[in-house]
Amino acid sequence: MEKNEILSKLQLIFNTVFKLKSIQIDNLTSAKDVEGWDSFTHLVLIQEVEKDFNIEFKLRELMRMENVGDMIEIIASKF
């Protein structure tokens, strides 16, 4: 799966999880950039990403994620 495909799919997931139509994510987007991205919504986001991509993150991968770009790299490595 191409990284731009992953980003497009993540955009839809973010819009759903955060219920924000105007949010535009990119590689540098992190929790501090998104209104409502707290520990609970982070868990919901990870769950939705795992479900939609049919993958499972390892704990060390989750600990490594600092922004959307990191998430994309990890997702891409699973395909």
- Domain of 42, CATH number, reads 1.10.1200.10
Q: Domain count for the chain, please give it.
A: 1
Q: What is the pLDDT of residue 56?
A: 97
Residue 1 is predicted with a pLDDT of 84
- φ, ψ dihedrals at 41, nearest 5°: -65, -25
Domain enclosing residue 9, as ranges: 3-77
pTM for this prediction: 0.90
| Beta carbons within 8 Å of 76's beta carbon, 6+ residues apart | 1, 3, 6
Rounded average pLDDT per 10-residue block, the chain, 79 residues: 94 91 90 92 96 97 96 96
Rg (C-alpha) for the chain, rounded Å, is: 11
The 8-class DSSP code of residue 67 comes to S
